[in-house]
Amino acid sequence: MREHIEKLIQSALKMLVSGELSADAVPPSINVERTRDAKHGDFASNIAMVMAKAARCNPRDLADQIINALPDSDSIERAEIAGPGFINFYLAANTRFAVIGRILDQADQFGCSDAGKDQPVIVEFISANPTGPLHVGHGRHAAYGASVANLLAATGHDVYREYYVNDAGRQIDILIVSLWLRYLEQAGEQIQFPSKAYRGDYVLDIAGIVANEHGNSLVRPAAAVYSDIPSDGDGETEDDAGKAGEKHIDALIARTRDLLGDDGYRLIADIALNWVLEDIREDLDEFGVHLDNWFSERRMVAEGMVEHALDELRKRDDLYEKEGATWFKASAYGDEKDRVIIRENGQATYIASDIAYHLNKRERGQELLLDVLGSDHHGYVARVRAGLVSLGQPADSLEVRLVQFVSLYRGGEKAQMSTRSGQFITLRELRSDVGNDAARFFYVMRSNDQHLNFDVDLAKSRTEENPVYYIQYAHARVCSVFRTLAERDIEWDMTQGIAGLDRLQSKQETELLAELDRYPDIVELSATNRAPHHLVHYLRSVANLFHTYYNASRIILDDDATLRNARLALAAATQQVIRNGLELLGVSSPETM
C-alpha cells in the first residue's frame, strides 16, 4: 500500500509538472510512512514540505494541488492536509480488511519480500575462539546473528552463514599448554598451573581424553618443563604481575613445543580443537543456530590464502619495510595509521589473516560481507576495509555490527564471568535454566549496540511481564479457540469469514487489523537496519492487542455465524503473524501453555 500511494503521488506530480510546476522541484524519492495515530489517517507523506522551497510555494497550498491531482483509487477513501503541509491518506474499508486474506493465503510466506533482490550476503557471526565452551556472551552473538540472517533471507537476500574458526593464534597455544599441564598433573607430575592459563573444568575433561588415548607417551618431567622459565607474576604491582604472567605463559608455550616436538604439539592441538569445536557445534545446533560453513584459519594459512593476499598487496605497492618489519599502507585507505603486517620474526600478524579472509569471501562471490563482532573490535573495521579497498574491492562491501556485552542477573545479583579463570556461565547452562525460546528472545530484545542485562528470573517467569511468554500465550490462545471450535463441532468457513470482514468494526478489531498490516514493513525495517529488536517490540504489540481483544470479545458466537467466521479469520491471521515473526527470531510457537 505504501508503494501504491507513492505511485499515486508520482502521477499527481507528473500532472503538475506538465502545468506550472518545475520538474527540478520534484525530489528523486517520495517519503510515505504509516501514521502513529489513526486520527491522522493510515499513511502520511511530507512531499509538499520537501518540495515547497524549490517549488516556491506554500507547503499547504502545494499539498492541496497534489491532492487535487491524485488519480482515483479504490484503495483510498480520502486524502487530507494536516499541520504545516502533511498529506494524510485514509484507506478504504475494503483495503483495510484485505490484509486478512493476504495473511491466510500467503501463510508462512506473509511478510517475505524480494527487497534484497537475491544479493549474496555472507553473515559471519559468533566466531568465538575455540578455547572453551560458548558462554552467555557468545549466546547473544549467536541469537543476534542468526536472527539478522533470517531477516535478510526473508527479504530476498541470498544468505550464507559462516563461523570463522580462529584455530591458529596465541590463544590456541595457551589452550594447548593448559591442556598439557593438566595432563601432566593427572600423570602425577607436580605442576604450578600458570595464572594466564585456561582453568575451566573442560580442560580437565580433555586432558583425560589425551590420557585415555595416548597413555603416558606425552608425559615429560616437570623439572624439564619449568627449567629456566620466567617466574609467574612476581612483580610488585598488579600491572607488573600481569606482564610477568604473560612472559611466563609465552615461555611455557615455547618449552611445550620444544619438549613435545611438532608432532606431539600438533596432536595435543588437534584433540583440543576437535573437542571444543564439537562442543560448540552441538551447543549451537541445540540452540537452533545452524551454519553453512566453518572456515578454518589454519586451513587458510596452509592453502596459501594469506600469502595470496600479501602478494596482491605487494603488486599494488602497498607494503613497505621499516625497522625490520613489513608494513601495510593502511593510512592511505582510511585507517588512522599504517599497520605491521609481518613482524620482525617473519610471522604474519592477525591483520594479514583478516584481510586474506575477507578477500577470500569476496572471491567466493559474496557481495556484502556482514560481520557480527564483539564491541571491542572498533579498530578492526578500518583496518580490514583498508585492506579490501587496497585490493580493489568496494569499501561498502564490508559491514560490521558490534554486539555489546551481556550481564546475567539472578535474584538481583550480577553473575561474575571470566573465561580464562573458568568462572563463567556457559550458554548450555543458561539454555538449561531458562529454555531456548527465552534465551533466543531475550538476547535480541535490545539493540545490539546497547548493553544487555539478562534477567534470568524474568525469563523463567510465566507472567505477562515476561514478553516471550506473553507473545507465545497469544498464539496458544488462538489454538485453544480452534480446539474449542472442534469440540463444539462447529466448522469455520474461512471464505465466509473473509467475505464478512466488514462486520469487524470494534475499536479492538480495527487496531488489531491495522497492526497486522504493518508486519511486512516491520520485517523489512528489521532487516534493513539489522535490528531484530524492532520485530520483538512489534510482536509484543500484536500480542497485547490480541489479548485485549480476546478479553473484550466473544470470538465463538452461537447466534451469528457471519461475525463468528470473521472473528475467527482475524484470530487465525493473528496466529499466523505471531508464528511467522517468532520463527524469524528462532523462537517456537507452542499450541498449549
For residue 350, being part of any structural domain is answered with no
Instruction: Report how far residue 48's alpha carbon sits from residue 66's, in angstroms, rounded to the nearest whole number.
Output: 8
CATH of the domain at 85: 3.30.1360.70
The torsion angles phi and psi of 160, rounded to 5 degrees, stand at -125, 125
**Do residue 479 and residue 532 come from a single domain?**
yes
**Do residue 559 and residue 484 come from a single domain?**
yes
- Structural domain ending residue among the three candidates 91, 116, 143: 91
- Structural domain ending residue among the three candidates 91, 110, 125: 91
For residue 424, being part of any structural domain is answered with yes
For residue 530, being part of any structural domain is answered with yes
Instruction: Report how far residue 268's alpha carbon sits from residue 274's, in angstroms, rounded to the nearest whole number.
Output: 10
For residue 361, being part of any structural domain is answered with no
**Burial group, residue 175, by CB count within 10 angstroms (0-12, 13-18, 19+):** buried
**Do residue 449 and residue 552 come from a single domain?**
no
**Do residue 181 and residue 257 come from a single domain?**
yes
pLDDT band of residue 19 (cuts 50, 70, 90) is: confident
Instruction: Report how far residue 171's alpha carbon sits from residue 175's, in angstroms, rounded to the nearest whole number.
Output: 6
**Do residue 231 and residue 205 come from a single domain?**
yes
**Do residue 477 and residue 564 come from a single domain?**
yes
* Model pLDDT for residues 128-139, shown as the tens digit of each residue: 999 999 999 999
- Structural domain ending residue among the three candidates 276, 296, 314: 276
For residue 544, being part of any structural domain is answered with yes
β-sheet bridge partners, residue 453: 407
* Model pLDDT for residues 535-583, shown as the tens digit of each residue: 999 999 999 999 999 999 999 988 899 999 999 999 999 999 999 999 9
Q: Quick one: cell of 246? A: 604473560
Residue written as grid cell 462486520: 503
* Model pLDDT for residues 75-112, shown as the tens digit of each residue: 999 999 999 999 999 999 888 899 999 999 999 999 99
pLDDT band of residue 33 (cuts 50, 70, 90) is: very high
**Do residue 478 and residue 435 come from a single domain?**
no
Cα–Cα distance list, 263 to 257, 260, 267, 269, 563 (Å):
9, 7, 6, 10, 77
Contact status, residue 354 vs residue 390, Cβ threshold 8 Å: no
**Do residue 579 and residue 528 come from a single domain?**
yes
**Domain range for residue 60?**
2-91
**Do residue 452 and residue 478 come from a single domain?**
no
Q: How many domains does the chain have?
A: 4
**Do residue 475 and residue 578 come from a single domain?**
yes
- Torsion, Cα of 235, 241, 243, 248 (10° steps): 90
| pLDDT, position 90 | 94
Instruction: Report how far residue 438's alpha carbon sits from residue 461's, in angstroms, rounded to the nearest whole number.
Output: 10
For residue 381, being part of any structural domain is answered with no
* Model pLDDT for residues 321-332, shown as the tens digit of each residue: 999 999 999 999
pLDDT band of residue 422 (cuts 50, 70, 90) is: low
**Do residue 262 and residue 180 come from a single domain?**
yes
Closest by Cα among 588, 583, 521 to 149: 583
For residue 521, being part of any structural domain is answered with yes
pLDDT band of residue 417 (cuts 50, 70, 90) is: low
CATH of the domain at 561: 1.10.730.10
For residue 565, being part of any structural domain is answered with yes
**Do residue 536 and residue 574 come from a single domain?**
yes
